[in-house]
Chain A
Amino acid sequence: MPEFALLAEEGCVPLDVLAFIAAAVNLQMRRDVAPVWGDDVWTCVALDSLAGVNPTETRKILTFKKKLHLTGALGFHTQTSGGVDYAEVLPPAARPAGEAIDGTTTSHEVIETFGDPTCNAYVRGPSGRRLARELCDPVEADAYPISVRIGPETRQVMVSNFVFPSWFHGGPGPHDYLKRLDFPEELTAGGYFEYLDENDHSQQIFADARGRQAWLAKMTNPTTRVQARVRHALEGAPPG
């Protein structure tokens, strides 16, 4: 089973917060994402360290770090020769007790990796564009709360909105989980999407300056999904 392991370097995310994020993402995958997309459920576990853990091909490790190797990007991916995928993300902003935990970056990473683990899948949309199969980018700035109980404690965790298959293929809506989109290939404020043009060049559509900023932030880092797509496009476009 494809699985994400969440880690926090140097305690940059409290362990209870890490556990709540993992629980919320698990619930989102099981309840909201998998039924719509009809694929295997991805799971997420929170770990306090990697001591004694044998990474396997089915475990991806997402580490929260106070500072990434390259600033600007919220998260990035790299791959070891052993087949284990690593990602690093900045920690969510600390919230006072009683306020929702920000799990959006984790949710975004898990959903998009679930949607396209190798960052090279494209779908020909109603417009004829070959759309990158990224499930959260078009609604990048939208989030919703999930209430999670672990033992005696209940916390709210914000998770990322995501698009439905009809966003790529056309047909009746809804086109995203929060029902904010009226049409396929539409964007909400702060969103963007990528596609391949007729010359197999990677192109982007932005909802607004915020969406462009989000994309640019990822482009500053050579190991983001955005950059992986550009690399794959340069290496040879997949059939669409």
Chain B
Amino acid sequence: MVTTILALAWLSCAHTLPPEKPLGPPLPFTAGAYDCAAPATWKTGSFAALVPAVQRALANDDSQGALTVLLSSHYAEEVTCVTGYVHDESVQQQATATDKDLAARRVAATSAWIEQQSARGLTVSNYAAEAH
């Protein structure tokens, strides 16, 4: 009984977390072509450590708004590198799954973000995942 109540309380908490608010103004934006594999590109943390934050933003109904929130703690090139990685992963997932809904939503959201950054003069390369 106690376990059930605790479990329900935990689940309740898990569902009522408010959307994340920006920690402050966005970090300075610098247009340019960035190499995602270059250590110099990573100023606020590692590539892999940023993946869960970007994935969470992409799971938000307002994915572009949620990705923009990340710009208060990460540089646009960092967020865009990870967005490119998730894009490629999701394209592969979309190709190999029968029900493609979640992957398709990620592909659309990452494409929109990458296009938006490109329009601002920011492009990224070397973000693809390799696995074997």
Which A residues contact B (CB, under 8 angstroms)? Answer: 1-3, 5-6, 14-16, 18-20, 22-24, 26-27, 30, 34, 40-41, 43, 45-56, 58-59, 61, 69-70, 78, 80, 86, 146-155, 222
Count of chain A to chain B residue pairs whose CB atoms are closer than 8 Å in the complex: 147
Determine whether the beta carbon of A48 is less than 8 Å from that of B100: no
Closest chain A residue, CB of each to CB of B81:
A151
Inside 8 A of B57's CB, which chain A residues have their CB? 52
Check B11 for interface membership: any CB of A closer than 8 A: yes
Instruction: Kindly state the separation between the CA atoms of A54 and B56 in the bound complex, as whole angstroms.
Output: 10
Determine whether the beta carbon of B103 is less than 8 Å from that of A16: no
Contact A40:B89 (CB < 8 A) given known A51-B17, A51-B19: no
Mark each residue of chain B from 75 to 103: 1 if its CB lies under 8 Å from any CB of chain A, else 0.
00000011001000100110011111111
Determine whether the beta carbon of A43 is less than 8 Å from that of B47: no
Determine whether the beta carbon of B52 is less than 8 Å from that of A1: no
Instruction: Kindly state the separation between the CA atoms of A222 and B1 in the bound complex, as whole angstroms.
Output: 12
What interface size band does chain B fall in? 35 or more
Complex partner residue of B85 from A24, A49, A80, A151, CB under 8 angstroms: A151
Inside 8 A of A150's CB, which chain B residues have their CB? 47-48, 51, 85, 129
Instruction: Kindly state the separation between the CA atoms of A144 and B99 in the bound complex, as whole angstroms.
Output: 28
Q: In the complex, how many angstroms separate the beta carbon of B67 from the nearest chain A beta carbon?
A: 11
Determine whether the beta carbon of A48 is less than 8 Å from that of B56: yes
Determine whether the beta carbon of A15 is less than 8 Å from that of B51: yes
Inside 8 A of A152's CB, which chain B residues have their CB? 36-39, 42, 47, 126
Inside 8 A of A6's CB, which chain B residues have their CB? 52
Complex partner residue of B131 from A58, A147, A222, CB under 8 angstroms: A147
Complex partner residue of A49 from B15, B20, B50, B62, CB under 8 angstroms: B20
Inside 8 A of A24's CB, which chain B residues have their CB? 131
Contact A58:B48 (CB < 8 A) given known A30-B96, A150-B85: no
Instruction: Kindly state the separation between the CA atoms of A3 and B130 in the bound complex, as whole angstroms.
Output: 21
Determine whether the beta carbon of A26 is less than 8 Å from that of B20: no
Instruction: Kindly state the separation between the CA atoms of A43 and B3 in the bound complex, as whole angstroms.
Output: 30
Closest chain B residue, CB of each to CB of A24:
B131
Closest chain B residue, CB of each to CB of A151:
B47
Inside 8 A of A56's CB, which chain B residues have their CB? 102
Instruction: Kindly state the separation between the CA atoms of A159 and B85 in the bound complex, as whole angstroms.
Output: 22
Determine whether the beta carbon of A20 is less than 8 Å from that of B48: yes
Closest chain B residue, CB of each to CB of A18:
B52
Known: A16-B48, A51-B20. 20 other contacts (CB 8 A): A1-B99, A1-B103, A14-B49, A19-B52, A34-B96, A40-B97, A41-B97, A45-B59, A48-B53, A51-B17, A52-B60, A53-B59, A54-B59, A59-B59, A69-B3, A147-B132, A150-B129, A151-B82, A154-B130, A222-B3
Contact A47:B55 (CB < 8 A) given known A34-B96, A58-B101, A69-B7: yes
Closest chain B residue, CB of each to CB of A6:
B52
Contact A50:B15 (CB < 8 A) given known A18-B52, A149-B129, A150-B129: yes
Instruction: Kindly state the separation between the CA atoms of A30 and B91 in the bound complex, as whole angstroms.
Output: 12
Mark each residue of chain B from 1 to 23: 1 if its CB lies under 8 Å from any CB of chain A, else 0.
00100110001001101111000
Closest chain A residue, CB of each to CB of B35:
A152
Inside 8 A of A19's CB, which chain B residues have their CB? 48-49, 51-52
Determine whether the beta carbon of A148 is less than 8 Å from that of B131: yes
Determine whether the beta carbon of B100 is less than 8 Å from that of A55: no
